[in-house]
Amino acid sequence: MTGTVVFDLDGTLADTAADLVAAANGCFSSRGLGALLDPVADAGIAFHGGRAMLRAGYARMPAGMILPGDAEDVDFARLLDFYEADIARHTTLYDGVDDALARLQDMGLILSICTNKPGALAEKLLAVLGIRDRFAALVGADTLPVRKPDPTAYREAVTRAGGEVARSFLVGDTETDVKTARAAGVKVALVGFGPEGPEIDRLGPDYLLHDFAGLPDLAQRWLGANAAARRKA
């Protein structure tokens, strides 16, 4: 059976931080707090999810201000609405993504997405960025009762795409991705060009990917893909 490469989305395929932070700041502004997060300095927080951004912002509120007990749940739903309404104003694919995906497909590999972004938002973003048709399957935060780092989410992303877990690996950008891969018993490559840069190697991935141009060679080494499998004469 051919191999499968599974990708995280935010911070791995696309730099979505500025739009995520803008959505969180929309929530804070609606409470009269202004923009509590910075799209550059807080990019790393953005890649840990909406609730992480909200909590970081709440920690910066003026002293003595108290929010209702349900503030986080209310604001999380509001954040998703803000984000969906303007999902790709600033978001861009990382350099070389589309070329790398095309080369992986030429090698006969199956591509899939496993993200903790809600499924509908992930589908919309990939479509707007023009790469949805590269992926045979997508598992989002709400596709299953569990999500990363539970290995069930990863395994489902592989099997829904028609692959085999034993012949797959994960490309991601956070500790969650490392934990997911370890739990699933597969290798993981982390990108070294996100907010944390090459320092992300501290998480102990099996490989640190410095740019997407190197991904096809890595897939060849790890999966033994046939580089001519889908190439047209």
Active site residue 173: no
Q: Torsion angle of alpha carbons 173, 174, 180, 183, nearest 10°?
A: 120
Phi–psi pair at 93, nearest 5 degrees: -70, 145
- Going by C-alpha positions, the residue among 139, 216, 154, 145 that lies closest to residue 185 is 154
Q: Are 181 and 154 in contact (CB under 8 A)?
A: yes
d(CA 207, CA 210): 9
| Per-residue tokens: 197 | 């840069």
User: Cβ distance 16 to 115 under 8 Å?
Assistant: no
Q: How many residues does the chain have?
A: 233
Q: For residue 210, how many other CB atoms are within 10 A of its CB? A: 11
Catalytic residue chosen out of the listed positions 8, 10, 75, 173:
8
> Would you name the residues annotated as active-site residues?
8
